[in-house]
């Protein structure tokens, strides 16, 4: 099982890829795995709560998940 530090570093690396490219978080995880040689099947064990929420939002935007109500301020 991944440690909190490993999960934090993984999330940081994914956010860096998202910031530097036009990738969404899902694509950034795939790219990270390609760059580092990390097995794609191991990536879910490194996803923290914040990253999971961003992936869920991306999936809803891509119509991969049903959209849920969101509060707009």
For residue 72, the model assigns a pLDDT of 66
Q: Which residue has the tokens 């999960």?
A: 7
Pick from 14, 53, 61: which is nearest to 33 by CA?
14
Cite the beta strand spans of the chain per DSSP E.
none
Q: What is the pLDDT of residues 51-69, one digit of tens each?
A: 999 999 999 999 998 887 6
- CA–CA distance, 30 with 52 (Å, rounded to integer): 14
CA dihedral sign, ordered 24, 40, 65, 68: negative
For residue 1, the model assigns a pLDDT of 80
For residue 68, the model assigns a pLDDT of 79
pTM of structure: 0.87
């Amino acid at each position: 099982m991944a440690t909190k530090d490993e999960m934090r570093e993984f999330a940081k690396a994914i956010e860096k890829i998202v910031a530097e490219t036009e990738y969404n978080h899902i694509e950034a995880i795939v790219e990270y795995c390609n760059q580092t040689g990390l097995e794609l099947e191991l990536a879910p064990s490194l996803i923290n709560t914040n990253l999971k929420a961003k992936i869920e939002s991306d999936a809803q935007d891509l119509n991969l998940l049903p959209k849920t109500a969101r509060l707009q301020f």
